[in-house]
Structure 1
């Protein structure tokens, strides 16, 4: 759930260093917390050790001058490390002596202290930003979006008795609704490496396929003639009198609703949204042409109205044989608390499909509340296809 297993042929170490050079912050941000803490702690410790070495070098340059660090013999590593640690953590100077001579006699040490303090402030600010970004990331918010364990493929009277694919989705954190959540569906076939998108009927993808995930929702894709789930064997000859797609993924519902035309009259080239309108056109034009004594050949009088009907829908066996290797459902939205974008993923294979079923209703209402019965969320009522 919520991640896709993708591996690259390039070695992981080579890819890691390549990304680290280009985008080190996000590479670090994506590592496990324990790894990030160890790396950042190691970098901080190394900086303390480096400045300890600088203090030893500068103190040696001031031999014979009381710099307040190590006396005439010069500061040793232990004392230099303690002084560097005190400077980095700003806990106050108590070691290695009680004098403030390094503020009075040795200007170079003051300069080193200045640079270490600047480095310390910047590193502390980075740590705060890093851990805030790490803690407040919204990607885990997707685990609260629940998908049905099974998807449904059935014939729907509302879709001219065509086959439809349905998936149920709900966000269990209904108190803080996801902002601008929308859904996408892809299929993956075993013989290709391409993800093919599916058009979505409900919620309408032309309006952004926006969902209110706080309410249990059913996402619907119609398996029409343009759907990648439509069996190629059943599509043979069905594109007769249809306009070409031009490489665009279309929906039959758009032509039925009048948003576009797809069926061409073979005689005059007029286009219509569905077969019924084409039949009305042929029948009316035949009356006009007969009345005007048009010849039969090359006119609408040569057409038989009954030949122009919508082809029958494919059988369940044809739908099953054409089912892809995998269906991927992607929910994307904004977490209202952290204002971060997250994604929730669900995968369905052949074993996850129920044919002829409908999702059981999970909603009820009392005087003050709407109630979601999550114990029935995955339940599907099966009927004869």
Structure 2
């Protein structure tokens, strides 16, 4: 049996949206699912108990960062990432491929792998497909992502094709090197914004025995409409019976639009990063709490939100940020993560009811309101 499987429970009749149940060695995950990002074995400012209370069922860690600090050997010696972090639910680990992109000025790419200059102490570090898998097997995550070659967009067609083909070769090396039967491997489809390259990559990856498939290389500066077109060009060539994961995305409307196109899983730093910067997501749109108009606002962020931030007034939360109190970023991080969990849970309810189209239209009105003259 594969380490990770998905059971489809419902499909919306008017979109490609689908609801399912992801089964992993550390528990089940209802889909669509949003994974809070715990890059350094922690979701910034949020405890594992709080993550469970706000509705998270799966979180993400990062191979590159944890391999550097504290080191995957140490984490393995302390019982693996679950025991080390205190999170006993499912964990997905990113391979380090995004760091090839984000640390491009410090990185040299060859067919063998990527050579980094550590952002911590400057020492040279080599990350190959095999080493990425070794680190993730030491961490003991439920899902290990293959190492891929992420590039900036837009880019030259030859550069995009070269990175896509290298991602395929690296993915196969990851699969050949992997040894843990209790860990799933997810492939990552690359190809920029080129529908033909995305098709080629998806078809090649689908020939291999991966337990799931991700769409990578997006949300790196391209317009949302281009991202949506790329998802549409990729999804038809991925196995229907396996989970589909859109990496590093995104805004609330991005999630809703991607779900409508058949995506099951998401991760993004947006809810916590924005929370630390005094921006709250709500069912009626976003709210910048530093604005002076909230100085005397006695209302909660949202009346029906169960999170601890919503036990306080907008005025109080604004005060925390103005005063530089650490509780402000903590409360808004928890609120935003709660909102994201509510959003995917509501999406799942509408998929099961066959009313996802109406939900999608409603969300478009909230997040993409008509522009006035």
**Range class of TM-score, shorter chain:** under 0.3
Q: Which has the higher contact order (CA 8 A, sep 6+)?
A: 2
TM-score, normalised with respect to structure 1: 0.21
Compare CA radii of gyration and give the structure with the larger one.
1
* TM-score normalised according to structure 2 size: 0.22
